[in-house]
Structure 1
């Protein structure tokens, strides 16, 4: 499937509206995420590697906020537990449609892949089945902070013993100098990947009221309050990190 370059914010906009995961974003999302999130390919591929350790036979693996299914594809490449199946969920119809197309393309390249059910749904109202793995890959930051504790509590309650939640998020930092430095380094990363100052500024305006990041300390406290016993950071690149939370 041909991937288009991200030029959504390349021209001056009369009004910058809030960022939404619509068809325009779905069409350019692979390029957008690769050029915007430091370490994204490493995170995605290694979620598959990590999942292989926690996935249990005859269990469900959830990819919540699956977008185009990059994590789901990584799970299928690495998890070999018998009778596992993946449920990939996103609330964007455009993302779900393209995710299904990408998974069909993966089917043609690999054999004996885990079965996947792709669902268009709001993960805040979805009833979870008992599962050995949940992946929230840059999803929680788009959910209202008030609703985050309940979601994490329900995930914990649905996790099988020995399972895990893998949570990837953009971070903010409590130390102002640390926060300012890593923010500027992230902007340097975007510039190095070809984004103009106009694109950076307009994207920031579009996303600042939609994506609300937390600090690592806030994530740890919230996960422990939800019932998880251990929170282990396994990856960080600039102000983006991924954690393993154990029940």
Structure 2
């Protein structure tokens, strides 16, 4: 009898999470992350906060701070994540105006006075009933002209597109050292944990909570990055 599969655990991947996600998501390191850093120069406002919701290792938030620190030294940067094992990475990234906190994004009360918020592959791990309320809290906390950069794995708009994009993605992972068993085990472990929207549903939800200006800024297979401006 086969052993029962276990759920995906951020705790298990925390020590080498940046390497894991870089190998798992095409264009993550050389496309999505540099785009987020470049866009931050446009949206980080003096005297405000930058929030990374589901910050994992804090790598992206630290890079955004470095990009903006000289021009806007009075900005504070806060990363939140519910997995305490990412703390080993936070220790070496903390700075005078860069802090990290272990907490559930749904209960966090510090969304106010943010000029930029990040949600990089975070919303997809929430229950459907919790997604829009969190987006609303982020929207309400942004200052006028502030922005949310959100990236999600999505579902294709129809089954034919889903099939067309899924298997080339598996081929991509095979070329980067994943075995067929690795890929299948990962899919099994995420079953029931990852709740995906289509890109259209993601855009509709962002509109519904108040974001009137949306632009897709990055896309690779079924992974999508969207800029939403208040």
Q: With the length of structure 1 as denominator, give the TM-score of the two structures.
A: 0.87
Tell me the equivalent position of 2:100: 118
1:168 aligned to 2:157?
Answer: no
Structure 2 residue aligned with 1:192, among 164, 168, 175? 175
Conserved in 2, the CA contact under 8 Å of 1:87 and 1:117? yes
Shift of 1:202: 0.6
Shift of 1:185: 1.4
Query: RMSD of aligned C-alpha atoms?
Result: 1.4
Query: Structure 2 CA distance, aligned partners of 1:241 and 1:139?
Result: 13
Structure 2 residue aligned with 1:135, among 118, 122, 135? 118
1:49 aligned to 2:31?
Answer: no
Tell me the equivalent position of 1:14: 3
Query: Structure 1 CA distance, aligned partners of 2:222 and 2:140?
Result: 29
CA displacement, residues 140-173 of structure 1 (integer Å, 9 cap, x when unaligned): 1011111101111111111101110000011111
Query: Structure 2 CA distance, aligned partners of 1:31 and 1:165?
Result: 25
Tell me the equivalent position of 2:202: 219
CA displacement, residues 179-198 of structure 1 (integer Å, 9 cap, x when unaligned): 11111111111101010001
Kindly tell me the number of residue pairs found equivalent between the two proteins. 225
Structure 1: give runs of 5+ residues left out of the alignment: 1-12, 108-113
Query: Structure 2 CA distance, aligned partners of 1:232 and 1:56?
Result: 20
Shift of 1:211: 1.3
Q: Which runs of 4+ in 1 moved over 3 A?
A: none
Tell me the equivalent position of 1:81: 72
The correspondence of residues 60-71 of structure 1 with structure 2, limited to 5 A, is: 60-71=49-60
Shift of 1:30: 1.8
Query: Structure 1 CA distance, aligned partners of 2:61 and 2:92?
Result: 10
Query: Structure 2 CA distance, aligned partners of 1:50 and 1:29?
Result: 24
Structure 2: give runs of 5+ residues left out of the alignment: none
Q: Secondary structure at the match of 1:124?
A: coil
Conserved in 2, the CA contact under 8 Å of 1:44 and 1:70? no
Conserved in 2, the CA contact under 8 Å of 1:57 and 1:83? yes
Structure 2 residue aligned with 1:35, among 13, 17, 23? 23
Shift of 1:102: 4.1
Conserved in 2, the CA contact under 8 Å of 1:47 and 1:74? no
Shift of 1:99: 2.7
Shift of 1:78: 1.5
